[in-house]
Amino acid sequence: MDDEIYFVIRVCSTSVARRHNVCETEQKEILEAEPNLLQKWDQTWGDRMNEIVLMGIDMDREAIEKQLDACILTPDEMHMDWSKLSNPLPWAEI
């Protein structure tokens, strides 16, 4: 019999996206404190980012990346009028 113990933890957080409003002074302070952020800093979204860590055995990295890339919104989708779409998260205020 195996004496191994397996833990599975699921963490999920959903929130409504808003533009990143940072004045130039605050941006400078943030980037001075954490210079590594400069390579990831986005002019519209600032230091907001999503990072996913997947751990497993014999995972197909290319297939996973292809499926995740297919989820990325196009520039047209980003700029469309989302107020005309049904809200899949009716409990989240927009």
Q: Average of pLDDT values for 44-68? A: 84
The pLDDT value recorded for residue 67 is: 92
pLDDT, mean of residues 26-50: 78
Residue 1: per-residue pLDDT: 45
Q: What is the mean pLDDT of residues 1-26?
A: 57
Mean pLDDT of all residues belonging to the chain: 76
Residue 23 is predicted with a pLDDT of 67
AA identity, residue 37: L
Q: What is the pLDDT of residue 66?
A: 92
pLDDT tens across 16-37, in order? 555 555 667 777 788 888 888 7
pTM of the model: 0.42
Which pair of tokens denotes residue 50? 């999503």
